[in-house]
Structure 1
């Protein structure tokens, strides 16, 4: 930015001191970033029985659209409620995804084994090992990341 200041002052026909309060706006793609701030609004609603009010401010960087949320409760929720059917659907979808990845990995391992000159029984063995490895790693990750012992 320092190298650009002389060029900007020359182009705009102003003195370098006039640039002191200016800043360059950076263009970003939609959804890439936002500016956020947390404010203390004080006792603006004390007259209606709310002792303290806080505010959350967010401005989207691309569109400059502002968002403001005022609240009197700053505690984090202790639990997240989710319908049992949603939990079941997530479990089934995750299981299906893992199985699809395992089958594709097994098929790839079998194909590579055959291209490498392996017999059909040897290729099936490699496919079974690849399938089992993918399922085992997925189960270990679901159990708490037991594969990442450092």
Structure 2
């Protein structure tokens, strides 16, 4: 069924439970560009972004950026609509997996290179997550990790030149 999407299956999966794990982000990654655009417009409306200038500017974002924003919006909605106590212990790992500590750990370990998707998700998260999430990232030395990563990338770039 991979690669085969019917309109009904996408509609039903969007209206069912809100995604909360990596496979659900894959679901967003499998959406067509038109579906991403539609979800993005619904997200803007639901988030109360009605200013024409703001919507125009945001509509000019690349589809990839919109896809990330939609995926993170889904994750954000999932975290606010499903209390931790109801979800049980296994989902705690999922929550931690996308929390600030996840990004600090992933970006601290450059032995496997830098995963652009993780950096992109972090960039959107830092703009869209609650301030408490951003503060937690900063408290966990996240800015230092980003600085170290940029320094490493800069040194690597200069070695190749």
Scaled by the length of structure 2, the TM-score of the pair is 0.21
In terms of fraction of residues, the more strand-rich structure is 1
> Which one scores higher on RCO, CA 8 angstroms, separation ≥ 6?
2
Scaled by the length of structure 1, the TM-score of the pair is 0.22
In terms of fraction of residues, the more helix-rich structure is 2
